[in-house]
Structure 1
């Protein structure tokens, strides 16, 4: 197209697949390995203020293939704005780029995982949003407009959210599993040797902590040691693979029980030869509730174009296109007020009911991440993978 350069990566990967190594890097960031490279504001480019005039360019730095190209091209055409998209593979890569540039990265919009936002704000990698230029924030459900990491939308707008559960082969597994305790029992029994879990330290530990009805973000050394015992000795011997995307594992075959992100599980079920053979579980007592968020990078050269894009992406037309493309809900209010079953196949996997959402918890990447990474490494060794 003459007025846009849409650099979309192929082949298409699950956004969550790209996060499989995030735990390793997150520990380093929280320990000062990533954000510490950012110096004080005296050496950074100042935040740019908006004057209401749209610039003719917009530079987005996001995860590979994470937006519907049609949404980007329509925005470009309607506003005569050249849209450039670069991609990264981890939050740490994003932070390294922004930290090194000290506000002169050239990027306007970035898409971190929500848990990174407080540190990014502290180290002045983001600039405040002008909410007067974002009237369509009113379209976002209150639950997703007031995130714990940024309750007033000072820096972040929810792009999408998801959760974690497990998918199983109903032909190979009998019964009606509903909990993480059931997952562990199945892994040790009917599904032994045909189990896949996520290659993610926090998520793997969440299986054991959930099975024991413990806080998934516990910092208690005793509880984490019990978690280690269950993961390494109780689960790992039965695990065939550690994966980034359950849909890929399902297509490869050989698995009957898989820990999975809800959108990835839906993709795998829809692509299966016999979709009715598979069932996804939102397990009790709880699981991860993750968010990715839109933010504006400090020193953005095109702040008005950035605000215009964020406002545009929240419209119903674009929300539907985005959900269809990435397979996860954006948090738009109408998605939860209308029956989406006629719009999306297996819509129940995209839009968890309120009783499910209310029991989920946001993962916290804190000082215990090092311990969790060690548990995952020990489990992989024990599994022989």
Structure 2
């Protein structure tokens, strides 16, 4: 297997040793800490996937983001006589490093990479090619979240959750309309100065400037990359107070004025805030990242039938809706908004962006600029609050 050097520049490798680096770290600490095993008795008549005789085995080991599945779903699946063990990682780089180092002996049956990394992972022999005949509930997934550029025909992965990026602002401090990334940059250096939080994600931060200036978020032009890095490091960073993978906490605490966030985290913070009416959420123009996390099966899987059964189980509408309610992100199933409305879930326009917003989103990729964004992120941390 080829060495995956492009994903782990030296500076990123150093930061991977610190807590909470990476998208949606949530409750995950670094290392591989067990979140617990859920067991139960076998239920009759349960056929979770196209597995011969319905025999899916007795163990399932999942490597995923921290606190990223509704425990009720894990418990229900465990009642089929399967012991479900979940371990957590805090970044895609950590996941890839683990799979690359173990070379098929990780012991995991399911992993949850972000789609951005699927092409590189599959080309480097880290993932099994899927037998879609064992996932009949794939038919429940909206075509919008199937057959992606990163994974044509769902060869290696299936959508678990998806979301996008934007920002929340305190309208009692910023009392003018905010609609764009250009508005974000202006407010960050004025009304919100020293009360700005950015995500712990170098590429997401780069998009703020690239989109504000009308550049392609996937640009690798050296001049544009250098211009972006210079502005964000020297103009924006001195006004930034925090970099955080849990931005919802700032909303709940009311401790920031301008918060860069993923839509599901923003919604969760808003719903738990003491004075939610002060906060305004923005799907900024002209564009933002639309990310997708996926269910995938690593090379060397020890319990493939259980893996397929679980993925198929999670593509059932009832199970998927539980995950939406628990983690706050859509799972991409057809008709899920209607089910969420019937279940009484709130702020559905944040959870399910309308078509006109979806149409202007892009999916970030690993490019020749990725290393520069990592270096920029380190420089911004050094300058933050200066």
TM-score bracket relative to the smaller structure: 0.7 to 0.9
Bigger mean CA offset, 344-353 vs 236-245: 236-245
Corresponding residue for 1:64? 66
Give, in whole Å, the separation in 2 of the partners of 1:307 and 1:270. 35
Please state if 1:18 is matched with 2:25. yes
Q: Is the 8 A contact 1:103 1:298 kept in 2?
A: yes
| Distance change >3 Å, CA 263–CA 15, structure 1 → 2 | farther
| Distance change >3 Å, CA 383–CA 84, structure 1 → 2 | closer
Q: Is the 8 A contact 1:14 1:264 kept in 2?
A: no
Corresponding residue for 1:40? none
Alignment of structure 1 residues 1-385 onto 2, 5 Å: 16-18=23-25, 53-77=55-79, 79-336=80-337, 340=341, 343-384=344-385
SS in 2 for 1:67: coil
Tell me how far 1:380 sits from its aligned partner.
Answer: 2.2
Give, in whole Å, the separation in 1 of the partners of 2:219 and 2:314. 36
Give, in whole Å, the separation in 2 of the partners of 1:341 and 1:90. 34
CA RMSD of aligned residues (A): 2.3
SS in 2 for 1:207: helix
Give, in whole Å, the separation in 2 of the partners of 1:92 and 1:226. 26
Deviations 1:177-219, CA, capped at 9 Å, x for gaps: 1100111111122222221111221111111111101111110
SS in 1 for 2:64: strand
Tell me how far 1:158 sits from its aligned partner.
Answer: 0.3
TM-score (norm 2): 0.84
SS in 1 for 2:227: helix
Deviations 1:235-264, CA, capped at 9 Å, x for gaps: 122222222221122234331111111111
Tell me how far 1:357 sits from its aligned partner.
Answer: 0.9
Tell me how far 1:82 sits from its aligned partner.
Answer: 1.6
SS in 2 for 1:215: coil
TM-score (norm 1): 0.84
Number of residues of Structure 1 aligned to a counterpart in Structure 2: 345
Q: Is the 8 A contact 2:168 2:266 kept in 1?
A: yes
Please list every run of 5 or more consecutive structure 1 residues that lacks an aligned counterpart in the other structure: 1-12, 22-49
Tell me how far 1:90 sits from its aligned partner.
Answer: 2.0
Corresponding residue for 1:5? none
Give, in whole Å, the separation in 2 of the partners of 1:123 and 1:261. 29
Give, in whole Å, the separation in 1 of the partners of 2:112 and 2:90. 11
Tell me how far 1:81 sits from its aligned partner.
Answer: 1.5
Q: Is the 8 A contact 2:23 2:91 kept in 1?
A: no
Please list every run of 5 or more consecutive structure 2 residues that lacks an aligned counterpart in the other structure: 1-19, 29-50
Give, in whole Å, the separation in 1 of the partners of 2:63 and 2:232. 36
Tell me how far 1:339 sits from its aligned partner.
Answer: 6.6
Give, in whole Å, the separation in 2 of the partners of 1:371 and 1:297. 29
SS in 2 for 1:258: strand
Give, in whole Å, the separation in 2 of the partners of 1:342 and 1:309. 24
